[in-house]
Amino acid sequence: MKIKSGSIESRIDYSVILPTLFLLIIGILAVFVAVSQDYPNHVATMVGQQVMWIFLGAVLAFLVMFFSTKFLWQVTPLLYLLGLGLMVLPLFFYSPTLVVSTGAKNWVTINGITLFQPSEFMKISYIVMMARIIVSFQQKYPVRDIQKDFLLIGYLALCTLPIFILLGFQQDLGTALVFLAIFGGMVLLSGVSWKILIPAILLGLALIAGFLLLFLSPGGTTILHNLGMDTYQINRITAWLDPFKYAQSTTYQQAQSLIAIGSGGLTGLGFNMSNLLIPVRESDMIFTVIGENFGFVGGLVVIGLYFLLIFRMLRATFLSNNRFYTYIATGYIMMLLFHIFENIGAATGILPLTGIPLPFISQGGSSIIANLIGVGLVLSMSYQHHLSEDKRLSRSRFNKKITIKRVESR
C-alpha cells in the first residue's frame, strides 16, 4: 500500500516504531517465560497486564506524537510540577511489605493494591523541563562564558534538587542515578565549557574510587552504615564484588543470575526452559531469561535492537533541526542508555544491582508506559519536522501557481 505524501501516515517515523515493537514482543515472551517458571498459576493475569500496559502506553505515545512544539513548551512547567506532586504520594501511600523487600518507598500503594511508580513518569517530565531551561537560557544568553555556564548549571541543579530530595526520602538510589545520568548528558550537550566538565568528571571518578576504597577497608561497611547507607545497598555492592561468597544468602540473586546466563551458552536452552530460581526475574532480572533461553545470540539481538532504536532516534534528531526537541531526545537517549547499561551490567555481574528495569522488556506498567511516552516525544519531533516540510512545499506550490497565473495573464 502506497503512503500518500502529506498524509498522517507519511509523517510517522516507522524506523523508530519497528525496533520498539520488536523489543516489546521480546518483552512479552520473556515475561511469559519468567512467570511460567515462577508463578504458573498467574500467567494469564501477569502477561495480560503487560499487554494492557503496552496498549495504554502505545495510545499515549500516539497522542503525544501530535503535540506541537508550542503546546509542549507551554505545558512543560505544569508537567514538571505534576511529576513532583506525584512523587510525594509514595511517602504516604506505600506498602510496608514492599518497602521491606525492596528497601525503597517508591511505589504508590492504596488498600493493598500497588498502582504505579511516580519517578518513572517524572523522568519524562524532568527531561522536557531541562530541555526548556537550556533553550530559554541559550536564547537569553547567545554569547557564553564561564560565569554563564555556571549560571546555567545552577538553574539545572535547582530543577534537579527537589527530585533528589524526594528520592532521598524514598531511599531510591537506583532511580537517583538515572536522573544523574540524564543531568550529565544534557549538561554535556548544552555547550558547557570543558574547563568545568573535566574537573567535574575527575572529581566524580575520585569520589567513586574513594567510596570503593572505604567500602573494601576493614570496618568500612560499618562506617558507611553509620553514615546512613542502608543494609540492602551494602549487600548489593557486596554481591557485585563477590557474588559467590554468600551465594546462599545475601548474594543469592546475583549468583543465580550469572549461573543462568552462563548456562544459556551460545544459543540458549530453548524457549521456556529454566533450571534455576531467580528472584524478580520477570522485572529487574529479565535479561537472565533472555540469556538462559536464547543464549549469547539472543542477548546480542536485544542489544542490537536497542542500538538500532537509538541510532534511528539520533537520525530523527539531526533531521528535525529543533533545539528544544534535540535536548529532549538527548535526555531520553541518556535515560535509555543508562537503563540498558545498568540492567544488563547488573545481570552479567559488571555492575551492582540497583533495581532498574530493562526498557520495553521488564514487567511493570510504570516503566513501559513512561518509555513509550518517551518514544512518542521522539515521534512528535519527526512528525512536526515532516509537517513543517509539507507546509513549506505547499506554500512553494501555491506561490508557483500564482507566479504562473501572473505570467499567463500578461
- What is the average pLDDT across 22-29? 95
Q: What burial letters (b/e) apply to 98-135, b meaning 16+ CB within 10 Å?
A: bbeebbbbbbbbeeeebebbbbbbbbbbbbbbbbbbbb
Q: pLDDT tens digits for 296-311? A: 999 999 999 999 999 9
Place of cell 537550556: 134
pLDDT given at position 238: 79
The CA angle 178-184-189, to the nearest 5 degrees, is: 130
pLDDT given at position 321: 77
Q: pLDDT tens digits for 263-309? A: 888 988 888 888 788 888 888 889 999 999 999 999 999 999 999 99
Residue 181 has pLDDT above 80, yes or no: yes
pLDDT given at position 396: 60
- Cβ 284 vs Cβ 316: under 8 Å: no
Which residues are registered as beta bridge partners of 109? 114
Q: How far is C-alpha 31 from the geometric centre of its chain's CA atoms?
A: 19
Residue 2 has pLDDT above 60, yes or no: no
Q: How confident is the model at residue 221 (pLDDT cuts 50, 70, 90)?
A: confident
The DSSP code for 269 is S
Q: How confident is the model at residue 125 (pLDDT cuts 50, 70, 90)?
A: very high
Higher pLDDT: 18 or 142? It is: 18
- What is the average pLDDT across 370-399? 78
Half-sphere exposure of 328 (CA within 13 A, CB side): 27
Residue 405 has pLDDT above 80, yes or no: no
- What is the average pLDDT across 143-148? 86
- Cβ 156 vs Cβ 130: under 8 Å: yes
pLDDT given at position 1: 47
Residue 409 has pLDDT above 70, yes or no: no
Residue 390 has pLDDT above 80, yes or no: no
- What is the average pLDDT across 377-390? 80
- Cβ 234 vs Cβ 221: under 8 Å: yes
Torsions phi, psi for 6 (to 5 deg): 90, -5
Name the residue among 376, 130, 342 with its Cα closest to residue 236.
Answer: 342
pLDDT given at position 215: 85
- Cβ 257 vs Cβ 347: under 8 Å: yes
pLDDT given at position 338: 93
The region, left, alpha or beta by phi > 0 then psi within -120 to 50, assigned to residue 273 is beta
Q: How far apart are CA 280 and CA 253, in angstroms?
A: 9
Q: Are strands 113-116 and 108-110 parallel, antiparallel or unpaired?
A: antiparallel
